[in-house]
A = this chain, B = another copy of it.
Amino acid sequence: MGLGGLLVGLFLVSAVLVGTSVRHGVPRAEPEPEPELELAEWDPASGAFPEDSLWPLPQSLRTSPRQLQLAPDRFQIVHGAGSSAGPACALLQDAFRRYYEYMFGYARWLQRGRKGLAAKPELAQLQVVISSPEPGCNGYPQLASSEAYRLTITEPVAVLKADEVWGALRGLETFSQLVHEDDYGSFLVNASEIYDFPRFAHRGILLDTSRHYLPLKSILTNLDAMAFNKFNVLHWHVVDDQSFPYQSIYFPELSNKGAYSYNHIYTPTDVHLVIEYARLRGIRVIPEFDTPGHTQSWGQGQKDLLTPCYSGKQPSGSFGPVNPILNTTYDFMTKFFKEISSVFPDDYIHLGGDEVSFACWKSNPEVKEFMKKQGFGIDYAKLESYYIQKILDIVSSYNKGYVVWQEVFDNKAQLKPDTVIEVWMGNNYVQELSSVTGAGFTAILAAPWYLDYISYGQDWKKYYSVEPLDFPGSEKQKKLVIGGEACLWGEFVDATNLTPRLWPRASAVGERLWSSRNVTDLNDAYKRLSNHRCRMLSRGIAAEPVFVGYCAHEARGR
């Protein structure tokens, strides 16, 4: 046995290598397994454990103490031979530049022309190889996109292989997390081999731009942070009772009247920018237009859309949920969702359906008459289902899938089998997951990850310790849980506190949804998360501290 083979025993194997990944019926083409690295030279002075900085932890990581040096003015990220993507792939070109900046920052300028110390072997390139004939450069990430990648770091070049660009983006993030600066300002990376893929396909962050308006820059910054944590869905809860900031093309009065002010809207340009910024980071944007409840702001700009509530025999002047008994409602929704389906490229739209109060419907004599005619008796959940089914039909006709909050399932609406149910109620989500998947529906878990509920101390541990598949059900049922979302509802959140409130608490959810089920060690996670939050700081994300301590590069005061 040569020295290389001997040292394999020193590798720090953090997770079991998993050979294939078949998820949700979508077989993922995996890159060919590589021959094992030949690694030698133990540098006892190195000290650093490179995996201390990884977040979320890759599915399989083998790293050696052997360190390679990167020279910022020479190191390059390039398209590798045989890649189906090349310089015409703007998405990757942009990602290469971005990750170069994350790794070297301003240091590259300081080091320009400086001769590297020749003590360590040099890593000259990271070659990125996309294997699919359709790399995805100009497309949008989807639920079924492959995010798997294989990263082999050894001199003189490291190779990052992925089926599609989405996997390459995840691999670039991992590579950048492995590069570190030593005490002398040298950039080092340990020879490593990583094979990685997400445990769950849907890993979302919910932002709420209705309770408080979030400036575009806050949303973009959050997309950066999401990429650093390998999240891949922005669930944009764009409108709600309080305000309607989405500027509709067909119905401009919705935001003219329903936004907080003319200063608190998202123009079509803003929306496109969010979608494109997200796409470049492998993040889907699923807009939520929640009806029939949570629609007070819609009523400002769209006459007769909401149900007039009655006080005795007179209209009280206040309004309830969307009026489900008028044809004009469905005419409006048909046109409105036509626009939404066209503006948002994702395959899915979130249609809400939560917390519908029946009081107003019950008070309205015309609604009562309609109930009678339809044979609904006094079961207003039937009326709600009637409405929802019509909306689902409308959205289906535009070839969109849809996500709904759990009440739509609970109230026994007739749902198409491909409906995705988002489980949000905290009291009994384990049972709900069981019921939803037992009925054959796909589920997203949000309930234990309502990050707007703040509390003192390291509450990330609570989020981290959730096991999404720990519910009674068959293997088939477990496969129906496609992921989860960390939700930051906006009652107490705006641009002043969004970032530090969300990060790194959401990072805990990020690792839970990406890494292997057995990655549960809180002490190990604490160490990595602390480093990860310092890295986020250095990349301009004002992530709050995990606990006492410091970062080499602190956030600037403000």
Contact = CB atoms under 8 A, between A and B. Distances in A.
A215 B554 contact: yes
Interface stretch (A320-328, A359-367, A510-518, A538-546): A538-546
Interface stretch (A102-110, A280-288, A453-461): A453-461
Given A494-B544, A495-B558, A555-B494, A550 B456 contact: no
Contact of A556 (B217, B260, B455, B543): B217
Contact of A491 (B211, B455, B547, B554): B547
Contact of A492 (B217, B242, B544, B554): B544
Interface string A521-554: 0000000000000000100001111011110101
B455 A554 contact: no
Interface string A490-512: 11111111011100000000000
A495 to B, nearest CB: 4
B556 A495 contact: yes
Which interface class (under 10, 10 to 19, 20 to 34, 35 or more) fits A? 35 or more
A370 to B, nearest CB: 33
Contacts of A549: 212, 242, 260
A218 interface: yes
Contacts of A396: none
Contacts of A333: none
A294 to B, nearest CB: 13
A43 B123 CA distance: 76
A264 interface: yes
A548 B495 contact: no
Given A454-B456, A455-B455, A492 B558 contact: no
Interface in A367-406: none
Given A213-B550, A455-B455, A550-B260, A495 B221 contact: no
A271 interface: no
A452 interface: yes
Contact of A496 (B263, B491, B499): B499
Interface centre among A212, A213, A214, A547 (most CB of B within 10 A): A212
Interface centre among A221, A261, A542 (most CB of B within 10 A): A542
A496 B543 contact: yes
A164 to B, nearest CB: 31
A496 B211 contact: no
A221 B549 CA distance: 22
For the complex of A and B, 10 pairs with smallest distance between CB atoms: A217-B557, A218-B557, A215-B557, A497-B500, A260-B550, A496-B542, A495-B555, A497-B544, A211-B548, A496-B500
